[in-house]
Amino acid sequence: MNFPWKQRKPLARVINPEINPDGPDDGGRLIVLTAPLTEAIDHAGYFIQMAMASLPIWMEGVINRKYPKWRDVEHNEDGSARYMPAGVRLVEKSLSREYRHDDVVACFPDDLHKFVGPRTRVVAVSTHNPLGVTFAAGVYTSIFGSSKMPINSHYSRQLFATIKASPFRKNFKVIVGGSGGWQIIQTDTYEELSVDCVVEGRSESTDTLELFRRAIQGEQLPRRVEVKHPLDSEGILFPDTRTTFGVVEMTTGCGRRCKFCVPDLNPQIDLPKDKIMEAVRANVRNGNKQISLATEDMFIWGQVHTDTPFYFPNREALVELYSEIVNTPGVEQHVLSHSTIAPAVVDPLLIKQLSDLLLPKSPIHFPYLSSHPEKKALAPLIGLETGSVRMAKQIMSSKGVPFSIEDWPSVALEGLRVLNENNWFPAMTLIVGNPGETDEDVMDTIDLIYEMERRGLFAFLIPSIFTPLHDTRMEKETGVTQTRQLTPLQWQLMMKCWKMNLRPGQYSWWGPMAWRVGSIGMWLYKLRGLNGPNFTWPLLMFSGAISEKNLQRMGKIYRGKPLKVKTRRELIASLKPKDLQYLRADNGDLPVDYVPPVRARAMTG
């Protein structure tokens, strides 16, 4: 039998006889920037990178078969990378304030030998998720058999091993930055990965430049440096070359203050449209056909620090921004990144207008779900996290503002209804195993998921095990740490989510059969030992081998009870006048006796 994972390359790069042991002819670049191959690739949309973050390395063959060309990257004439993650591009841009163009290069890991030489003083690595210890990533590799080595982590380690093995290693410092740098700090893998310093924060900071100066002078660097985030948009730079997936920043921070969230710790800033558009055009000039605006919540853009609270989207501003982007000559594809769900309840007309604009350029197709003539869909990433109001109050009390967190299940269902009606089928994350989560909390979430099913709503549900992320307000808390600790209900929630995700793919006669046989085979082969006895019945439920009704009758699963859900009109009726004034009448559903403030003033004046 052919086991593709047994044939993979060893971690350190195989010695290539064509590589000159004396380094490149020009002595190499002073500063060389890079990122793991699996974080730099630009193929097949976001999904491929997300899959690589979640699947263990032994399943690499699945990706290879589906995307045989995923390793084919594009180069500039000098061998540097044609595209790199936005983080790398901003480090490059930040350094350009102090160093000559020829001193700095950004290259793919396999090309390091072309640029690292006796002259090199810094190799800087930008990484999103090097060790795979973040939420959602760890849990699936652990379900499939190894909690330590997702595909992305394997390639990240391979990159660090290549740098460590460089004959010039003693001449240069290795500085790591990016949203995944904390994983190296947390796991204390400096020696193993040969990292001198991890920078937490943005490259624009003068402290970052000072660090590079010290590295170039050969000074000892601190292990960890925390640098300040700019407080306004003036301090944020924009890429003027091509970024992976055409990522251009749209906002920083969020404002909803969820306790487990990292990006919310940054100041809430929306970036100027002219700068965003310049970066979009720069991407297109450099051969990119796709654009994605990076944000925690696209709906705050245009409403940050205005007289209106940020959670009432600025419809005109958003429509104008997205319209300019998709109408930029050369932009063939556009994908959404992150958003929240309450804005869909606040302003359904905004969702409709954005759909009209964005669907034609969306590369995502959901043939069984979309009502678009070409079956196109939009799929932003949205946090659902829990269906338990008790839990939601503890970890994300402002997630649904302007609506009360007491109404969270209704906000989520009503928002999803509006989104689905407009061909938005979001990927929604759920956190399983929050600190203090009880069986009742999990049952509340299961109720919500079954209610989605009952109402025919669709979201791609991504349950993950609670991970206390560094620096967050939950940093010191522990929830579930291994899949064996999951309770039968927590397993059931996870497997029900996946069962529902597979719904649209199950229309062929062989689909359900393949899953049934495949999942049971996998359980017999590997999973029953790994994940413990609590996993068994939920897996049988997932496989469909025994009907949910029968499993419930046998007392093996909980099938959820119907939820009493508020309509949009009822949700709006519960708003206080201070918030009600910002709702737009063209969406309807305002209380019949409601008098908008302007008219009220006219009447009283």
- Cβ within 8 Å of residue 524, ≥6 positions away: none
Q: Residues 533, 535, 539, CA angle at the centre, nearest 5°?
A: 130
Q: Give the C-alpha separation, 477 to 479, whole Å.
A: 7
Size of the site for ligand SF4 (CB under 6 A): 13
Judged by beta carbon, residue 150 or residue 402, the one nearer ligand B12 is: 150
| Per-residue DSSP letter, 8 | P
Determine contact, residues 435/477, Cβ cutoff 8 Å: yes
* Side-chain half-sphere CA neighbours of 574 within 13 A: 16
Q: Which does 152 bind (CB under 5 to 8 A by kind): ligand SF4, ligand B12, none?
A: ligand B12
- Which of the stretches 257-265, 275-283, 348-356, 495-503 binds ligand SF4 when contact is defined by CB under 6 A? 257-265
Pick the binder of ligand SF4 from 254, 294, 431, 449 (CB under 6 A): 254
State the minimum distance, in angstroms, from the CB of residue 70 to ligand B12: 12
Judged by beta carbon, residue 150 or residue 383, the one nearer ligand SF4 is: 383
Q: Which does 42 bind (CB under 5 to 8 A by kind): ligand B12, ligand SF4, none?
A: none
Does residue 184 belong to the site contacting ligand B12 (CB under 6 A)? no
- Cβ within 8 Å of residue 132, ≥6 positions away: 53, 138, 141, 148, 149, 150, 152, 153, 183
Judged by beta carbon, residue 258 or residue 497, the one nearer ligand SF4 is: 258
- Which of the stretches 145-153, 186-194, 250-258, 271-279 binds ligand SF4 when contact is defined by CB under 6 A? 250-258
Judged by beta carbon, residue 121 or residue 566, the one nearer ligand B12 is: 121
The structure tokens listed for 19 are: 């590589």
Closest among 354, 355, 377 to 364, alpha carbons compared: 377
- Which of the stretches 99-107, 113-121, 122-130, 510-518 binds ligand B12 when contact is defined by CB under 6 A? 122-130
Does residue 279 belong to the site contacting ligand SF4 (CB under 6 A)? no
Judged by beta carbon, residue 297 or residue 444, the one nearer ligand SF4 is: 297
Pick the binder of ligand B12 from 171, 179, 482, 487 (CB under 6 A): 179
First-last CA distance in the chain: 85
Does residue 391 belong to the site contacting ligand SF4 (CB under 6 A)? no
Does residue 340 belong to the site contacting ligand SF4 (CB under 6 A)? yes
Burial of 451 from C-beta contacts in 10 A (0-12 / 13-18 / 19+): buried
Closest among 29, 2, 8 to 105, alpha carbons compared: 29
Determine contact, residues 328/281, Cβ cutoff 8 Å: yes
Pick the binder of ligand SF4 from 258, 442, 446, 495 (CB under 6 A): 258
> Are β-strands 247-249 and 333-335 bridged in parallel, bridged antiparallel, or unpaired?
unpaired
- Cβ within 8 Å of residue 361, ≥6 positions away: 326, 331, 332, 333, 334
Residue whose tokens read 């049988």: 540
Q: Which does 264 bind (CB under 5 to 8 A by kind): ligand SF4, ligand B12, none?
A: ligand SF4
Judged by beta carbon, residue 148 or residue 257, the one nearer ligand SF4 is: 257
| Per-residue DSSP letter, 493 | H
Pick the binder of ligand B12 from 126, 147, 158, 162 (CB under 6 A): 126
Query: Which backbone phi and psi does 226 adopt, to 5 degrees?
Result: -105, 120
* Side-chain half-sphere CA neighbours of 83 within 13 A: 28
Q: Which does 469 bind (CB under 5 to 8 A by kind): ligand B12, ligand SF4, none?
A: ligand B12
Q: Which does 258 bind (CB under 5 to 8 A by kind): ligand B12, ligand SF4, none?
A: ligand SF4
Q: Give the C-alpha separation, 225 to 15, whole Å.
A: 34
- Residues 202-221 close enough to bind ligand SF4 by CB under 6 A: none
Q: Which does 254 bind (CB under 5 to 8 A by kind): ligand B12, ligand SF4, none?
A: ligand SF4
> Are β-strands 251-252 and 269-270 bridged in parallel, bridged antiparallel, or unpaired?
antiparallel
Pick the binder of ligand SF4 from 39, 111, 296, 548 (CB under 6 A): 296
Closest among 61, 156, 146 to 526, alpha carbons compared: 146
Pick the binder of ligand SF4 from 376, 399, 496, 499 (CB under 6 A): 399
Q: Give the C-alpha separation, 566 to 409, whole Å.
A: 9
Instruction: State how far Cα 201 lies from the chain centre.
Output: 18
Does residue 249 belong to the site contacting ligand B12 (CB under 6 A)? yes
Judged by beta carbon, residue 115 or residue 558, the one nearer ligand B12 is: 115
Judged by beta carbon, residue 136 or residue 494, the one nearer ligand B12 is: 136
Does residue 318 belong to the site contacting ligand B12 (CB under 6 A)? no
Closest among 234, 226, 202, 175 to 89, alpha carbons compared: 202
Pick the binder of ligand B12 from 145, 235, 263, 596 (CB under 6 A): 263
Query: Which backbone phi and psi does 378 adopt, to 5 degrees?
Result: -115, 140
- Residue type at 348 in one-letter notation: P
Does residue 380 belong to the site contacting ligand B12 (CB under 6 A)? no
Q: Which does 527 bind (CB under 5 to 8 A by kind): ligand B12, ligand SF4, none?
A: none
The sign of the torsion formed by the CA atoms of 258, 199, 268, 459 equals negative
Does residue 264 belong to the site contacting ligand SF4 (CB under 6 A)? yes
**Which residue's C-beta sits nearest to ligand B12?**
177
Does residue 291 belong to the site contacting ligand SF4 (CB under 6 A)? no
State the minimum distance, in angstroms, from the CB of residue 339 to ligand SF4: 9
State the minimum distance, in angstroms, from the CB of residue 437 to ligand B12: 20
- Residues 65-94 close enough to bind ligand B12 by CB under 6 A: 85-87, 90-91
Judged by beta carbon, residue 267 or residue 363, the one nearer ligand SF4 is: 267
The structure tokens listed for 104 are: 């700095």
Q: What is the CA radius of gyration of the chain?
A: 25
Q: Give the C-alpha separation, 395 to 260, whole Å.
A: 7
The sign of the torsion formed by the CA atoms of 387, 388, 389, 395 equals negative
Residues of the shown chain interacting with ligand B12 in the complex, contacts defined by CB under 6 A: 38-39, 46, 49-50, 52-54, 85-87, 90-91, 124, 126, 128-129, 134, 136-137, 152, 175-180, 199, 202-204, 208, 244-245, 247, 249, 262-263, 294, 296, 337-338, 469
* Binding site residues, ligand SF4, CB under 6 A: 254, 256-258, 261, 263-264, 296-297, 340, 383, 396, 399
